[in-house]
Structure 1
Amino acid sequence: MIKHGTMREFKIFEGKTLGILSGGGDTPAINSSIESIRNRAQLLGYKVFGIRHGWRGLLGDGDVVDLTNQPYDGIYGGTALRSSRTNPFPSKKNPESRVPQILKNIERYKLDVLVTIGGDDTNGAAKRLYETEGIPVIGFPKTIDNDLRTRTIHEYANKKIEAVLCPGYPSALKGVMEFTRRIKTTAESHSRILVLEIMGRDAGWLTGGAAYGQADIIMVPEYPIDKSRKDFFFEFVKEAFMRSPKKSIIIAVSEGLRWYDDQTGKTDVVYASTEVDEYGHPRLGGVSGVIASEISNKLGIEARAQTVGYYARSGECRLYDRKLTATLADKVVDLLLREDYGKMPVISKMVSYPELEEFNTGSIDMGNVGNKPLPEEYYDVDEFRFTDAYFDFMHHILGDRTFIDFKYNFPVVIPE
């Protein structure tokens, strides 16, 4: 005989308020993350507030909107809550602590829990608030660079490789792949070398999209081009160009690549600006132009630079990212129910779209996230290319790799 207990009259977190904010650079998956978290929090009974412009939305009088029972378009890219690189804690750019303002507004808006969507900076600040002030926080990963250490295991060829999987990266990866495929026809039409610059300050994960889109040579921040490597690189480029049937190649380079400067004798990144944000990050950019110019001058082969830039992190949320954000939001429900704060949901095992489910998730301490470069198993230093292991990793996201080429040759006419 089944005994019926007393029905719960209210939802478990009825009367409580959850706040969501997004900080740092935008990605195509932030709105999808916000929508997924909001929907699940509402089911648990939370009133859900959106904090606009990241941590800046909790300064002064606050900038907060009510997301409860409101329509929300999670396919539209970017973040409707807007973003900023505001740091609540003292920094070189802003020595004043704004933590008292944050705490005041958390109390004013009666926020019981914060979910912070961001990278190492945004979530690192949230973790400090949790540790020093006792504010209940849950982090949510976000970066197109895909360099947060999520401890995702990629099983390949009987090996377990520690990889990374963050919302925003799958959509950006596909965008870079499509961009590279399109620009390939321009390189071929002019028999040029085209140097494609792709976002990636400290890690080359995103540049993999160019390889999937048929780029011929890849350079990533994990492996600097010093003086000896530079000479080898130019020889490698020359041979690749001469072997190319259409006398055109695409070189994909991460913006954070350190390149040897003949004039200064130093190997360093190329800066677009000396200005830094509140977390101390300078703005990078321009390495593709430097490389293209040196190829033209040293090899006598016409080369041009092209920057993918913000294209990679703009536009709609792709299918894989949609389910990825939903799956991680499912894990947020688990963390909320157990009041397991100071944690961040992650995918524990690299899987394809159908296997993106809560049982393949885990959680990690927000204070121990850190950054994760490309594993050495994913890059062939001597051949300037990604390995089959990394192509297998990307295959889980992008599916089968297709090759697009103009497949016809014409007979040469010799005058009589």
Structure 2
Amino acid sequence: MADIRRIGILTSGGDCAGLNAVIRAVVQRATYGYGWEVVGIHKGTAGLLSRPVEADVLNLSQFTGSLLRMAGTVLGTTNKGDPFDYPMPDGSRADRSTEIVEGIRELGLDAVIGIGGDGSLAILRRLAEQGGIPLVAIPKTIDNDLGDTEVAIGHDTAVEVATEALDHLQPTAASHDRVMVLEVMGRDAGHIALSAGIAGGADIILIPEIPYRIASVAGKIDRLRQLGRNFALVIVAEALRTEQGEPVAETKQSGDVHYGGIGHYIGRRIAETTGAETRVTVLGHIQRGGTPTPRDRLMASSFGVHAVDLIAEGRFDRMVAWVDRGVIDVPIADAIRAYHAVETEGALVRTARGLGISFGDD
């Protein structure tokens, strides 16, 4: 076993359900299994830029049963400010990576567990390489687009929230003879839209991986009418583009691109093409909250325990992953090399087509 006495943990990137369950699992495994001290770093890498560093020792008394059920992260997180190209108050950019490495050393940590998505883990890995910091990673993204793992923390709860939204929209759609369009998150991939669309009985699923035509969408709605249906449910991933291939997004002052608005575009085009009365619902950050599902809690617990065990074994620069109904670990570099898009010929797409769901490409 590696000579470890004190480890750190931080959450980075967007929040999601299941993060607190990971933190709890790490503290319990480190304490019960190895007698280590666990330091919780607040606000992700932003906390490491503060002086003094924003961090606290975590102990078992803080982790009652309620934390397992809480969404968000008690440590706080950040998805702003690349430390290698940090935006300064005067508008300039600076490399503040050395300050973060110094912050980790100030805490006297023997290893760090980082919980994040592809962007966050790429930054953490680069920092670890620069500072010689032993790092283990845990995948977290509601989009479920990280490579080399079938499951990431937060995805299952996000799908449940989107599915529940479709469950709520169906009765009002039927009551008013409407087409209901639901826009869900999915920065690069359509996993949430695909899974929730099948589970929630959507008639049309539009995702960035499958090119669509509004004429095909309209044709599906017309066929439903011919069958006696007076409503339709459409679910759309936020990264979907217009028919002309243009993204519907807003560029912030920071330079970050925020997707949003494609649902209204699709709703408007459906109304223009079919004459149907349409309504649009944008779930947005509602998908990041909510009580974590049992599956997210199970994954979080499994990942947290395995991450601590990797540190004990002295195996670093690894990310825990779920493959073939078990926990494994893979090189972080492999996991973040390319995002995992929806497989257009995969089982879920075939299932959806078999159910008569349209992707707007028929």
Residue 249 (structure 1) aligned with residue 239 (structure 2)? no
Map of 1:321 onto structure 2: 296
For 1:219-234, what aligned pairs fall within 5 Å after superposition? Answer: 219-225=206-212, 229-234=213-218
Residue 366 (structure 1) aligned with residue 332 (structure 2)? yes
Q: Deviations over 1:57-105 (max 9, x none)?
A: 1003121122123322121111011111132222688731111111211
Deviation at 1:169, TM superposition (A): 0.7
Map of 2:219 onto structure 1: 235
Deviation at 1:233, TM superposition (A): 2.8
Residue 70 (structure 1) aligned with residue 61 (structure 2)? yes
- Once structures 1 and 2 are overlaid, which stretch shifts more, 322-331 or 23-32? 322-331
Map of 2:162 onto structure 1: 176
Amino acid at match of 1:132: Q
DSSP-derived class of the 1:268 partner: coil
Deviation at 1:239, TM superposition (A): 2.4
In structure 2, what is the Cα distance between the partners aligned to 1:323 and 1:52? 24
For 1:50-129, what aligned pairs fall within 5 Å after superposition? Answer: 50-61=40-51, 62-72=53-63, 73-85=67-79, 86-90=81-85, 95-129=93-127
Amino acid at match of 1:300: G
Map of 1:330 onto structure 2: 305
Deviation at 1:244, TM superposition (A): 5.0
Structure with greater contact order relative to length (CA < 8 Å, sep ≥ 6): 2
Deviation at 1:333, TM superposition (A): 3.0
Percent of aligned positions that are identical: 29
What is the TM-score when the length of structure 1 is the normalising length?
0.77
In structure 1, what is the Cα distance between the partners aligned to 2:39 and 2:227? 56
1:245 to 1:378, Cα distance in 2 relative to 1, 3 A: farther
1:246 to 1:167, Cα distance in 2 relative to 1, 3 A: same
Amino acid at match of 2:252: E
Amino acid at match of 1:31: N
Deviation at 1:53, TM superposition (A): 0.8
Residue 26 (structure 1) aligned with residue 15 (structure 2)? yes
Q: Deviations over 1:18-69 (max 9, x none)?
A: 1111111111111111111121122312211111111101003121122123
Contact 1:378 1:390 in 2 (8 A): no
Contact 1:14 1:45 in 2 (8 A): no
Amino acid at match of 2:306: K
Deviation at 1:294, TM superposition (A): 1.5
Bigger helix share: 2
Give unpaired runs (5+ residues) of structure 1.
1-11, 152-163, 261-265, 352-359, 380-384, 392-416
Contact 1:276 1:282 in 2 (8 A): no
In structure 1, what is the Cα distance between the partners aligned to 2:14 and 2:185? 11
1:143 to 1:59, Cα distance in 2 relative to 1, 3 A: same
Q: Deviations over 1:123-179 (max 9, x none)?
A: 11111122232111111110110000124xxxxxxxxxxxx3111111111221112
In structure 1, what is the Cα distance between the partners aligned to 2:110 and 2:92? 28
In structure 2, what is the Cα distance between the partners aligned to 1:25 and 1:69? 26
In structure 2, what is the Cα distance between the partners aligned to 1:95 and 1:237? 50
Map of 1:268 onto structure 2: 246
In structure 2, what is the Cα distance between the partners aligned to 1:330 and 1:15? 16
Map of 2:351 onto structure 1: 388
In structure 1, what is the Cα distance between the partners aligned to 2:136 and 2:350? 35
Residue 147 (structure 1) aligned with residue 145 (structure 2)? yes
Give unpaired runs (5+ residues) of structure 2.
355-362
Deviation at 1:313, TM superposition (A): 1.5
1:376 to 1:276, Cα distance in 2 relative to 1, 3 A: farther
Map of 2:360 onto structure 1: none
Larger radius of gyration: 1
DSSP-derived class of the 2:192 partner: coil
Q: Deviations over 1:197-234 (max 9, x none)?
A: 01001111111113201111101111233xxx333333
1:220 to 1:166, Cα distance in 2 relative to 1, 3 A: same
In structure 2, what is the Cα distance between the partners aligned to 1:298 and 1:15? 64
What is the TM-score when the length of structure 2 is the normalising length?
0.88
